[in-house]
Copies of this chain bind each other. A is one copy, B any other.
Amino acid sequence: MTVKDYMQQLGRQARAASRDMLAASTDDKNRALVAIADAITANRELIIQENARDLENGRANGLEPAMLDRLELTPARFDGMIEGLRQVAALPDPCGEISDLKYRPSGIQVGKMRVPLGVVGIIYESRPNVTIDAASLCLKSGNATILRGGSEAIHSNQAIAKCIAAGLESVGLPASAVQVVETTDRAAVGELITMAEYVDVIVPRGGRSLIERISNDAKVSVIKHLDGICHVFIDDDADLDKAFNIALNSKTHRYGVCNAMETLLVASSVAEKILPRLATAYAEKSVELRGCDRTLAILPNINAAKPEDWDTEYLAPILAIRVVDDMTAAMDHIAAHSSAHTESIVTENYTKARKFMALVDSASVMVNASTRFADGFQYGLGAEIGISTDKIHARGPVGLEGLTSQKWIVFGDGEILN
């Protein structure tokens, strides 16, 4: 069977299974999640064994240590999979919710019902625990799923896939509701992202190059974010203690995450007061600072920022700093350089807070809070399948609701259009 035929078959099966998933009750879905958790627990030895095979092959093929690390199902990650399944089972079911039901002058009653998207394709790198993570969110939101993990994790993923299938079947749901692609042929990805007949949305999880390639080639809608170039702006009217804490936390709480601050903007009137204090704190955490000319006038010992620094997501202990005239200049900088992920202003000024909130065009806009809060769990979504910096469909952290759609429903009593 060619890769194309194989993927088309998965697609047809997923489309058929999506009808069963639409009919599945909340209880069916929750029992499936718990049954999968039980199957994973019961097959711990086998899964760890298959993971060891992947690790061995990875080492033999000279995989980088960082990739080997992500590939490993450590005891904590293994327990995390089981815990995650139980947590998703405990979340409210987004499907079937009816809202905005109103009578119209014609007599019909019109509203919206939240429903699954249908078939979700997930493409991710060699992190076997993502298989469970993604499968559980798609299952709970009533979607059928096709999962395509990195080829280095193929044995781990196949072992996990067997547990998922067993769990689904034990509660009477079709095993094809969650299908893990069995071929490591890269052509499978190309098929998955172009078979719009069978797949409603693609969620790529992984590095920028993977996501960029997928969104360039996809014929199916993609929920994605490419960069997280997040800004904090310290306004003239900032409370400088809040500013200090937020600027420090946004950069240094974790470096390799998309919601970390990459550029700090400071109003010129407060720059001399706040920057030396911040520079000392950053130095203690070994954060390299790269400043504009006006920053260098205050902090002469740091490096000069080059133009490309304003457009770089460091994902590292490096911070670009720019002194700006005022909030307007800060918003101009953000409009020119932001990746539209998350921006925060620190200010006590009511009018400026309101203006910044209204005019900054990013997925998350904050006043007096660390950019690190831009996260599905912190926002109360209960789970996160990804983050979107697009404006269509889902924006910012995407939880179960982002894996659903709303259809219109009409209750009538024999009404016809005059």
What is the interface of chain A, defined by CB distance below 8 A to chain B? Answer: 19, 22-23, 96, 102, 104, 106, 108, 110, 113, 115, 117-118, 200-201, 216, 219, 221, 239, 241-242, 245-246, 248-250, 253, 335, 344, 357-359, 361-370, 372-374, 378-380, 390-393, 395-397, 405-417
> From residue A95, how far is it (CB to closest CB) to chain B in Å?
9
Tell me which of B113, B246, B364, B413 contacts A408 (CB under 8 A): B364
Do A414 and B241 touch (CB < 8 A)? Answer: yes
Alpha-carbon distance A144/B414, docked complex (angstroms): 42
Alpha-carbon distance A379/B344, docked complex (angstroms): 38
Do A19 and B106 touch (CB < 8 A)? Answer: no
Do B392 and A117 touch (CB < 8 A)? Answer: yes
Kindly list chain B residues whose C-beta atoms are within 8 Å of the C-beta of A409.
Answer: 357, 364-366
Do A391 and B117 touch (CB < 8 A)? Answer: yes
Do B201 and A378 touch (CB < 8 A)? Answer: no
Tell me which of B369, B405, B407, B410 contacts A410 (CB under 8 A): B369
> From residue A96, how far is it (CB to closest CB) to chain B in Å?
7
Tell me which of B369, B408, B411 contacts A367 (CB under 8 A): B411
Kindly list chain B residues whose C-beta atoms are within 8 Å of the C-beta of A397.
Answer: 408
Do A370 and B416 touch (CB < 8 A)? Answer: yes
> From residue A10, how far is it (CB to closest CB) to chain B in Å?
19
Do B395 and A408 touch (CB < 8 A)? Answer: yes
Alpha-carbon distance A395/B117, docked complex (angstroms): 11
Kindly list chain B residues whose C-beta atoms are within 8 Å of the C-beta of A406.
Answer: 395
Do A365 and B117 touch (CB < 8 A)? Answer: no
> From residue A106, how far is it (CB to closest CB) to chain B in Å?
6
Q: A221-B221, A372-B417, A414-B246 are in contact. Are A408 and B379 (CB under 8 A)?
A: yes
